[in-house]
Amino acid sequence: MPAQATGAAGVLPDPGSGVELRGVRRQYGLVVAVKEVNLSVARFGRVAIVGPSGCGKSTILSVVSGLEDADEGSITVLGARSSRERLAKCAWMPQRDLLLPWRTVIGNVCLPLENRGVSKKEARTQVEPLFTRFGLQGFEDKRPIQLSGGMRQRASFLRTLVADKEVMLLDEPFGALDSMTRGDIQMWLLEALHTEPRTVVMVTHDVEEAVLLADEVVVMSPRPGRVIARIPSRLPAFTSRRQAVAMPEFIRIRETVHTALET
């Protein structure tokens, strides 16, 4: 951990458009999951989406990633419009870990590197230090089924990280972790994004996590989900999560988000 992790604002000036949604609607049969969604994430910006269950948060990640297409509206990711191009620019971590059961845990994490032509040996050398950092040391050669839910989630997060895409779409990335591990990993992620900025769109039900990690918290209405509030989250520099959550600015932003959720 460096002397100071940055607050959510990050250090880079806004160098252009990261992710843009304009008038997006997505419908499953008769269910309109989201409609008229407008969302703008600056390049290297970090947006956290919060809202009631079923309001379409995961749907937004899915249409941004290019795995699904919107029924109406436009989506651009680093300037790319087609779903195929968007898919190439995004690393998507779904809520349910999609680790391949027949591969070892390290084999799963190395997959994006191997897909880019990195040898198995080199990929392993690159990711091993991350296993230690994420408390997965000793589990490298186990199968996913032999890990706890929280461990599988960490492995899935690592795989998203090593995919090394500029846009990271994270769906409840730390939901299955106990609060201590969760706090550690949140701080680690902030630090990692400080040294290697990415454009991040994350979904979380944890308002504190949203305020801590994002530079803007987007609040959605109940289904059909629309964006009803955009709350900037720019915190003074802090060195620990505990310090951050006690800051008056943090508390003010957290309460603003709760109020938006309640209305």
Contact positions vs ligand ADP (CB under 6 A): 28, 31, 33, 51, 53-59, 223
At its nearest, how many Å lie between ligand ADP and the CB of residue 225? 7
At its nearest, how many Å lie between ligand ADP and the CB of residue 203? 6
Instruction: Return all residues near 225 (Cβ < 8 A) that are at least 6 apart.
Output: 33, 34, 35, 37, 51, 55, 56, 57, 59, 60
Of 95 and 104, nearer to ligand ADP (C-beta) is 95
| Strand ordering across the sheet containing 216-220 | 90-93, 167-171, 199-203, 46-50, 216-220, 227-232
At its nearest, how many Å lie between ligand ADP and the CB of residue 263? 18
Of 195 and 263, nearer to ligand ADP (C-beta) is 263
At its nearest, how many Å lie between ligand ADP and the CB of residue 120? 35
3-state percent breakdown (helix, strand, coil) of the chain, nearest 5: 40, 25, 35
Of 59 and 65, nearer to ligand ADP (C-beta) is 59
Of 62 and 199, nearer to ligand ADP (C-beta) is 62
Cα 59 to Cα 225: distance, rounded to the nearest angstrom: 10
